[in-house]
Structures are given as C-alpha cells and as structure tokens.
Chains A and B, each alone.
Chain A
C-alpha cells in the first residue's frame, strides 16, 4: 500500500469532466444515429426483396463478428480515404477524431440496435400488420402508425440496456488516444504517475452511472410488464 492521494483527482476534475462530456456526446450521437440506421437495417432484413435482405444481413453479421477495436481501426483509416474520394482529393482528408468517433460508433452499434429492433418488430402480432394493410395503409404508413410504435414500446428496456453497453464501449476510444473519460484520466494519470487513484476513480464513476441507469431500466421494465399484464 503506497500513500494514496486522491487530491490529484480533484485537481484534474475539470479535465476529466471534458472527457466525460466527449464520452456522453459519442454515446448520444451513436444512440440516435444507431437507432435510425438500425431501424432501416431491421426493415431491410425483414424485407421481401432477397437482395436487400441479404445485403443487410451480411452487413449486420460482419459487424457482429469483428471486435469493436478492429472496427475503430478500420473506420479511422477508411473515413479519410472515402472523404478524399468524394472530394476528388489525391490525399486522404483528415476529418478529426471527434467526427470519426461519431461515425465509427454509429455504424458499428447500428448492427446491434438492428437485431434488437428486428426482434421488436417480429414480436408485434401478425394480425396487426394484416389489419393495417386491410384498412388500406401503404407499407410506410403501416410501419409508421401501426408496427413501429408498438415495437418500440416493447423494446425500450432492451434498447436502453444496449445504450448502457454503448456507453461502456466508448471507453475503447482509448486505443486511438481519444480524450474520452478514460482517455482523459489515463493521460493525467500518466503525467502525474498516479495510475491507482485515477483508474479507481474512473471505475467508480462508470459503476455509479451504469448501475443507476440499469436500475432505472429494470424499474421501467417491471412497470411495462405490469401494464401489459393488465391490458
């Protein structure tokens, strides 16, 4: 037991807060983008068109087979190449860590959101879709007014659990030296040679946030179960 000094953490709080802000930004962007893109993927996977179904299936299975770290490496390499190609520039165009992190997490997490949403859509009774068609709804109207509202209501707890996982996953941005919450802590920790204090603090903060959120999700889920049991 060396002499622990948690005042070093106190002094670094503003910097750590900036890191946490970035972590939350990536989580929020990837959550919104991932759910939108994931919904489209889920609809594609349930489509009547074989080529669309296979394409979406291949995308989702590929993303779900590789580690997030490898996906982050890929996207940090590919995004500048693609932007250069779009702009017709001969050199890769750097777009910055922040934007690339947003893109990386959105397109990776979309595959996981897709599977949650697909299960949600499939859990809606078949008669609902048939009834929608029978009253003359188009495919889009049917999804918009009948299927998706019911599907999302049922899957909100699972989606939120996936968001908690996403929030934890953003710590992997460490591998590209981004200054997310863990990245910020690790930079100060190395500067001050105070790994013990900083990593302990980081673990406690992550635990408190994730534990509280998962409690909220569980309470919401049991309320949802009760209300659907009464219905």
Chain B
C-alpha cells in the first residue's frame, strides 16, 4: 500500500471536480462555518460575559444559567435539538419557514447558530474572568471620575480585559474550527465529510484522511500565528504585568 498523489487529481463523482477540488470545497465550508460562528460567539460571549460582572444579581444569574445550559449538553445533542426538535416546537408557520431552507443553507445556518452559541458560553467565561482579573480600583476610579457604567466598560474595563484574554481566545478560535466538523452529522459537507466521501469513492484512506489531517494542522498553525500577531499589535508596554 503506497501513498498515491495522483488520486488527488482524478475526477470525483461530483461533475467537473477533482478530489483536491472536493477537499478544497470542504475547507471552504469549514472556514465559512467557523468564521461566521466565531462572530456570533464573540458578540454573544462578550454580552453574556459582561452581564455576569454587572452589579445586577438577576442579570448575573441569567448569564450563569446561559453558560450552564450550553456547557452541560454535548455539542452534537445541541445541534440535534436545534435541527430536529426546535422547528417542531415552534408555531407551525415559523417551523415550516425554518424547514423550508433546503440543503446546504438550512443545515449550514443551524450549525452556525449552534456552534456560535455553544462557543459563546465558553467565551463568556473568559470575558468574565478577564474583567474580574482587573484590579478593583480600575472600575472604582472610572466611576469616581463620573463615567457612567457603560463608559467605564467601554473605555476602561473592556480594553484591558480584551487584551488579557487573547491567549485563551486563541485556543477557543482553534477549537471552533475543529468543532465545526460536528456539522457533518446534519449534512454540512465540510472538510471531514469531504474526506470521508473521498475515502468512500476511492478507498484511498491514507490519502483522504491524510490530506484532511494536514489541512487541519495548517489551519491550526495559521490561527495560532494570526492570534499571536493580534496579541503583539494590541499590546501596550507595561500593561501585561499590572498589579492588582
């Protein structure tokens, strides 16, 4: 059994597509899914994370509940809940409207929302921890200067916490690319799914899974470099070792 590079250039059963093209289209779906879900995750994660640091107990409790809900159910089960269960429980018209999205967009949007919300729970933990890691005097000083709570978060707390949580966010960003493969269970033909298809069409398992593995490693390296660049670009000398 030898590794055969020619197989990548062979015609796949998809009209006009070679196997390398098939894998490329899988990668495109993976990237599109991970990036769009990442935007949802960042927005929701920041909102919920901030809510959990505000001086309103009911908001804190609501935020905690949100995190527990998304953290204690497996991603795959959440995906099935949104894809199979939710449309049935909603009013019939709304449910039918959701179901009217055919493949590939119906599964894609569902996976995007689920992956985004799932990741937002984890990001909100980082945001909350980042804000709480700042010295208490920072918030007090901002408020004492006459800033409103919104201004204190906008100009003082979030800019500092945001820089601190870049390293844990890097690992979340890498995780969202890996987790996006779960979407293959509801029919999103992303990278892992394409590798599996290629394996089934060609019986060239080493080539099919080997290529997918290599691509995932390259994606992880790229994300790592990108986040390191962002960390360096946003770094303010003297702020990293600020005492509490």
Contact = CB atoms under 8 A, between A and B. Distances in A.
Contacts of A62: 213, 217
Interface in B178-212: 178-182, 184-185, 192, 195-196, 199, 205, 209, 212
A70 to B, nearest CB: 5
A199 B209 contact: no
A206 B77 contact: yes
A70 B84 contact: no
A161 to B, nearest CB: 10
Contact of B77 (A2, A67, A202): A202
B85 interface: yes
Interface string A179-202: 000100010000000011001101
Given A172-B76, A196-B88, A206-B77, A69 B184 contact: yes
B217 A67 contact: no
A211 interface: yes
A74 B219 CA distance: 19
B160 to A, nearest CB: 25
B220 interface: yes
Nearest to B82: A199
Contacts of B179: 67
B220 A65 contact: yes
Contacts of B216: 65-67, 70
A171 B178 contact: no
A114 to B, nearest CB: 15
Task: Give the size category of A's interface with B.
Answer: 20 to 34
Contacts of B237: none
Contacts of A196: 84-85, 88-89
Interface string B61-90: 000000011011111111011001100110
Contact of A210 (B73, B174, B219): B73
Contacts of B75: 168
A169 B88 contact: no
A47 interface: no
Given A196-B85, A211-B72, A203 B78 contact: yes
Nearest to B206: A77
Contacts of B180: 67
A52 interface: no
A196 B80 CA distance: 9
A73 interface: yes
Contact of A199 (B84, B181, B182): B84
A15 interface: no
A207 B68 CA distance: 9
Nearest to A1: B89
**Of A66, A68, A169, A207, most B-chain CB atoms within 10 Å:** A66
Nearest to B80: A199
B205 A68 contact: no
Contacts of B192: 67, 69-70, 73
Contacts of B68: 211, 214
23 contacts: A1-B89, A65-B174, A65-B217, A68-B181, A69-B184, A69-B192, A70-B181, A70-B213, A73-B192, A73-B196, A77-B199, A168-B73, A172-B182, A182-B74, A182-B80, A195-B80, A196-B88, A199-B85, A202-B77, A202-B80, A203-B78, A207-B72, A210-B73
Interface of B: 68-69, 71-78, 80-81, 84-85, 88-89, 91-92, 174, 178-182, 184-185, 192, 195-196, 199, 205, 209, 212-213, 216-217, 219-221
Given A66-B212, A66-B216, A214-B72, 18 more contacts: A1-B91, A62-B217, A65-B220, A66-B213, A70-B181, A172-B74, A174-B185, A175-B184, A182-B80, A195-B80, A195-B85, A196-B84, A196-B88, A199-B80, A199-B85, A206-B72, A207-B69, A211-B68
List 8 A-B pairs, minimum CB-CB distance, nearest first. Answer: A67-B181, A210-B72, A168-B74, A65-B220, A67-B178, A171-B74, A195-B84, A211-B72
